[in-house]
Structure 1
Amino acid sequence: MPLHPLTALTAACCAAVMTTAAGSWPFSVGVALAAVLLAARAGVAARVLGAGTVILGPLFLSLLVLHGFFFPEGDTVLAQWGPARMTAEGLNFALELASRTAACVLLLLLFSFTVNVPDLTTALAARRLPPQFSFVLASTLTLVPAMAARLARIRHAQEARGLVVRRGLLSRLAAARLQAVPLVLGMVEDAGLRAQALDARGFGAPGPRTSYRQLEDPPGQRIFRAAALLLAAAAVLLRLITAWPAGVPS
């Protein structure tokens, strides 16, 4: 039986919340590996890993530089180059942040690449949520795949016109700038065209709405969503209790 869109959304969000509350890099790595295995089972592992690399690569590098080499509370110095000190405490802190962020990003990418957007919009509309909220959420979920496909078309078009990307960093940065400008302009133009089309069809008009799509929501999945929300809330509460300084009155 396929997962209801709200079940998949609840599972991804609650897993991300519990991963953040746990604050343990082995747990975060396990969650990230589980997300990759689920993506491979769904046949979207290459897309999830590709988008995750683009998102997480610069973040990992910045975490390594900021915390691995300039961690003010680091005492165990592993190597030193002038003002930059590689400390064990800084590397451990960077690893914790990187693994936690990677787990959350991979979970949300897995959901965005596997969810059926029309079914999700129907499920949200059935919960009496505003149509604007459904449209914004659906557009956000399709943003990463749409950007990746558009960027590939822009790169192929520019290479056909003679763009050569060399191995040097400056050449890659110049090519990225040339590709980013038409990408952003195209996304802005698409958003404007969609907004006009939706307004012309009364998308923002008040009043009752009729849905032509019917989704089955099994009782077992509703119970799972309630249990996942309770577990996420309990994880956050436990984290707050354990992080509360001893001897400080509440």
Structure 2
Amino acid sequence: MKPRLHPFTALTAAASAAVVTTAAAYWPLSVAVALAAVFLAVRTGVAGRVLPAAAVILTPLCLSLLVLHGLFFPEGQIVLAHWGPARVTAEGLGFALELGTRTTACVLVFLLFSFAVSVPDLVSALAGRRIPPQFGFVLASTLTLLPAVAVRLDRIRQAQETRGMEVRRGLLSRLGALRLQIVPLVLALIDDAGSRAQALDARGFGSPGPRTSYREVADPPGQRRFRTAALLFAAAAVAGRIVASWPAGVPT
């Protein structure tokens, strides 16, 4: 019988793909990652859930990117069309394409993981690493609710853009915008996690003492080596992006 993919391996692959895609900021790579995620969703039999969820999340997001950056890109120089204050610029369309394909790839890989992962295996794997069971159940429930988390993040982004937040091409500008979006999202998730943790404590999950696991998750050495290599590759991609975006003439 073919061994199942360990939950940590699937999570590492999804996170590494998202990190590398974001660091590369190269739309052909984003398209390739998105197509690979769709292919794997079809192979694993979860395409019927991944694709509709992705459509719900990405359709308004990509349309808003097209309107905001395709028509009102402040740094655009090559004007393709002009209607009053709206200007269709080549730079704006390129920025919208890059950001839209990158976001699509990240959403698809995490949706694939959230729908394909076995929640009991994930909880057992976390318990095997001596992680408190409350955290395991909260993490598993959060991952299975990833589409709702993505929708919440999109609403936060839209609210901030309505208040005048601009995302420019510079790495520092993107990191600053990401921080402004991640902080309220994390605070909301912490509040949700606290509510779930209280419910778990009320059912005895926080009681001290030894615990017995009735479910074992195989973790072959090959998958552990893959996780190490994937994390190193993602770290190298981030480091390369930082070095490439470093201003010329500035000492390191």
TM over 0.5: yes
Matched, 1:217 2:223: no
- The letter for the 2-side match of 1:46 is G
The 8 Å contact of residues 51 and 144 in structure 1, kept in 2 or not, is answered as: no
- The letter for the 1-side match of 2:86 is A
The 1:196/1:249 distance shift into structure 2, 3 A limit, reads: closer
- The letter for the 1-side match of 2:55 is T
1:132 corresponds, among 128, 131, 134, to 134
| Distance across 1 between alignment mates of 2:144 and 2:15 | 17
| Structure 2 counterparts to residues 95-110 of structure 1, below 5 A | 95-110=97-112
TM-score scaled to structure 1, two decimals? 0.78
| Structure 2 counterparts to residues 138-157 of structure 1, below 5 A | 138-143=140-145
| Structure 2 counterparts to residues 49-64 of structure 1, below 5 A | 49-64=51-66
| Coordinate RMSD, CA, aligned | 2.2
State the shift of 1:193 in Å. 9.3
Please, which runs of 5 or more residues in structure 2 have no aligned partner? 150-191
Residue correspondences, number: 208
TM-score scaled to structure 2, two decimals? 0.77
Any runs of at least 4 consecutive aligned residues in structure 1 with deviations exceeding 4 A, and if so which?
144-147, 190-197
The 8 Å contact of residues 138 and 196 in structure 2, kept in 1 or not, is answered as: no
The 1:145/1:86 distance shift into structure 2, 3 A limit, reads: closer
| Structure 2 counterparts to residues 21-170 of structure 1, below 5 A | 21-143=23-145
2:245 corresponds, among 232, 243, 246, to 243
Please, which runs of 5 or more residues in structure 1 have no aligned partner? 148-189
| Distance across 1 between alignment mates of 2:92 and 2:15 | 28
Matched, 1:233 2:196: no
Q: Percent identity?
A: 74
Matched, 1:17 2:19: yes
User: What do the CA deviations read for 1:105-147 (whole angstroms, capped 9, x no partner)?
Assistant: 0000001111000100110111122323212211112225899
- The letter for the 1-side match of 2:125 is A
Task: Indicate the structure (1 or 2) with the bigger Cα radius of gyration.
Answer: 1
The 8 Å contact of residues 67 and 91 in structure 1, kept in 2 or not, is answered as: yes
